[in-house]
């Protein structure tokens, strides 16, 4: 089955700094690469996704980059704000999908 790893598991940054979370996967059939954000006490919500034919996608302060050869994709958050504090999950998907173990991001004001 798929082996999905997220690093780091916890991340603290100062407000205004950048945060990067990396997700590695093993299933070469994976072709859809989303990131979900889960705030405390709330449900996970998609924040950005990318398909395998694209190397990078940006949406305001959030970007995702994909290296299909190396089987990893990363979430980049620039100019972090306290409301970015949450748990972030990657969920690479092909014939099946798998959620990473999550990264707890804390943005310190």
Partner 1 sequence: KAGVTQTPRYLIKTRGQQVTLSCSPISGHRSVSWYQQTPGQGLQFLFEYFSETQRNKGNFPGRFSGRQFSNSRSEMNVSTLELGDSALYLCASSWGQASSGEQYFGPGTRLTVT
Residues contributing to the site for partner 1 (CB under 8 A) = 32, 34, 43-46, 49, 89, 91, 93-102
CA distance 91 to 108: 26
- Between 46 and 108, CB nearer to partner 1: 46
- Between 18 and 101, CB nearer to partner 1: 101
Choose among 20, 25, 40, 28: nearest CA to 100: 25
Residue 20 CB, nearest approach to partner 1 (Å):
20
Residue 15 CB, nearest approach to partner 1 (Å):
26
Q: What is the DSSP letter of 68?
A: T
Q: Give the CA diameter of the chain.
A: 41
Tokens of 61: 């302060």
Residue 43 CB, nearest approach to partner 1 (Å):
4
Tokens of 60: 């305001």
- Between 19 and 33, CB nearer to partner 1: 33
């Amino acid at each position: 089955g798929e082996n999905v790893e997220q690093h780091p598991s916890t991340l603290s940054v100062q407000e205004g700094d950048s945060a990067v979370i990396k997700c590695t996967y093993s299933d070469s059939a994976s072709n859809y690469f989303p990131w979900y954000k889960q705030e405390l006490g709330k449900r996970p919500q998609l924040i950005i996704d990318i398909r395998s034919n694209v190397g990078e996608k940006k949406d305001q302060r959030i970007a995702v980059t994909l290296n299909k050869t190396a089987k990893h994709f990363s979430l980049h958050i620039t100019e972090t704000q306290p409301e970015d504090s949450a748990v972030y999950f990657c969920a690479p998907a092909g014939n099946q999908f798998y959620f990473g173990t999550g990264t707890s991001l804390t943005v310190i004001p």
